[in-house]
Amino acid sequence: MSGFPAVRLRRLRRSEPLRALVREVQLTPADFIYPLFVTHGSGVRNPIGSMPGVFQLSVDQARREAAELGAYGIRAVLLFGLPAAKDERGSEAYHPDGIVQQAIRALKDAAPELVVMTDVCLCEYTSHGHCGVVEQGRVLNDPTLELLGEMALSHARAGADVVAPSDMMDGRVGAIRRVLDEQGFADTAIMAYSAKFASGFYGPFREAADSAPQFGDRRAYQMDPPNAREAMRELELDVAEGADLIMVKPALAYLDLVRRARERFDLPQVAYNVRGEYAMVKAAAQLGWIDERRIALEILTGIKRAGADLIITYHAKDACRWLEEDFRCRTTTTRAGTFRKTTDRPGNRY
């Protein structure tokens, strides 16, 4: 009795209500963290060519965006900043009135319940575009830690709930934790970009954040894509140094690591569905080669199924809209109180 014909797995696939009943993973708006790129000025909404639907926003526009995100049920944003000027040491990154610091204060004022996370890295702010202090063409580890500590502290002072170091210097989580604790910010959490790979999938990000390295690349600090065991060591170290949330980035080519990390750690785990992953979906959809809605939801579901608790994604707003449409479609009742027939529109469900 252990196999066919007694066992027929198709029985529970027969109709949408049955499929919905036994569905193992459900996306919700609470799964998403939405990245925002803030820039100086007012009334600015600069579209990013390789990222349809994503804009560089001035602080006033970011406030409006926060209200919209709240309406979608999205609970967290991750802030990136475009400074007014760049220099060798990325001074605006840790200036009390830097663009991100301004945005944190504005968002906390406009939407106190929105969780404000900030990317902590120097590359958007340095003239050379690298993630740390550069000397003789090399990115120095230990001198960078001090600047990252300053940057995280100034974000905490402005009111950030979570600081997220993305630089991949050794020891940065511990260094940031120490500074925050010493300065009275023991409650500010750290989301560590723990296993962050030197990836081609960040290409469009560097357009969005204007942070391309002016010489060389990031392979001397970001991880080598083939290394899974080393990724576990990076995660272990960040946990030991006091990370509150851990991350694997990018997501799609690294889902094995999302799964391995899920099995190994009990911390909340985040996966970053990076820009190149988003751009590929958008481009193929524009060409009419794929169904954007179906593919995006399938990708996000796959990331969650692999073990991510939270997904940083540029699809967040679209995904919330699609999920709500699906939900309305499933739960609308007729006056007789019976469920309306759910028609399977092709391409709408995964």
The Cα 231–Cα 238 span in angstroms is: 11
Q: Does 166 bind ligand PBG (CB under 6 A)?
A: yes
Choices 101-109, 119-127, 227-235, 315-323 (CB under 6 A): range interacting with ligand PBG: 119-127
On the question of a cis peptide bond just before residue 250, with omega within 30 degrees of 0, the verdict is yes
Contact 71, 324 (CB under 8 A): no
Q: Is 249 a catalytic residue?
A: yes
Over its C-alpha atoms, the chain yields an Rg (Å, rounded) of 21
Contact 246, 165 (CB under 8 A): no
Q: Does 202 bind ligand PBG (CB under 6 A)?
A: yes
Q: Does 139 bind Zn ion (CB under 5 A)?
A: no
Q: Does 123 bind Zn ion (CB under 5 A)?
A: yes
Closer of 206 and 294 to ligand PBG (Cβ)? 206
One-character DSSP codes across 121-151? -STTTBTT--SSEEETTEEEHHHHHHHHHHH
Q: Does 123 bind ligand PBG (CB under 6 A)?
A: yes
Q: Which residue's C-beta sits nearest to ligand PBG? A: 205
Choices 63-71, 116-124, 168-176, 182-190 (CB under 5 A): range interacting with Zn ion: 116-124
Q: Does 275 bind ligand PBG (CB under 6 A)?
A: yes
Report, in Å, the least distance between residue 346 CB and ligand PBG.
Answer: 31
- How many residues interact with Zn ion (rule CB under 5 A)? 3
Choices 125-133, 141-149, 240-248, 283-291 (CB under 5 A): range interacting with Zn ion: 125-133
Token digits for 200? 């081609």
What residue type is assigned to position 278 of the chain?
Y
Which helix H or strand E contains 319, and what residues bound it?
helix 316-331
Contact 184, 147 (CB under 8 A): no
Choices 20-28, 199-207, 231-239, 281-289 (CB under 6 A): range interacting with ligand PBG: 199-207
The Cα 174–Cα 196 span in angstroms is: 17
Pick the catalytic residue from 196, 282, 304, 317.
196
Q: Does 134 bind Zn ion (CB under 5 A)?
A: no
Which 84-113 positions form the footprint of ligand PBG (CB under 6 A)?
none
The Cα 344–Cα 18 span in angstroms is: 13
Token digits for 243? 């990370």
Token digits for 71? 């309406």
Identify what 176 binds: Zn ion, ligand PBG, none; CB under 5 to 8 Å per kind. Answer: none
Strands (E), 59-129: 76-82, 115-120
Q: Is 196 a catalytic residue?
A: yes
> Nearest CA to 220 among 175, 257, 167, 152?
167
Q: Does 205 bind ligand PBG (CB under 6 A)?
A: yes
Residues that bind ligand PBG (CB under 6 A): 119, 121, 123, 131, 166, 202, 205-206, 274-275
Residues that bind Zn ion (CB under 5 A): 121, 123, 131
Catalytic residues: 196, 249
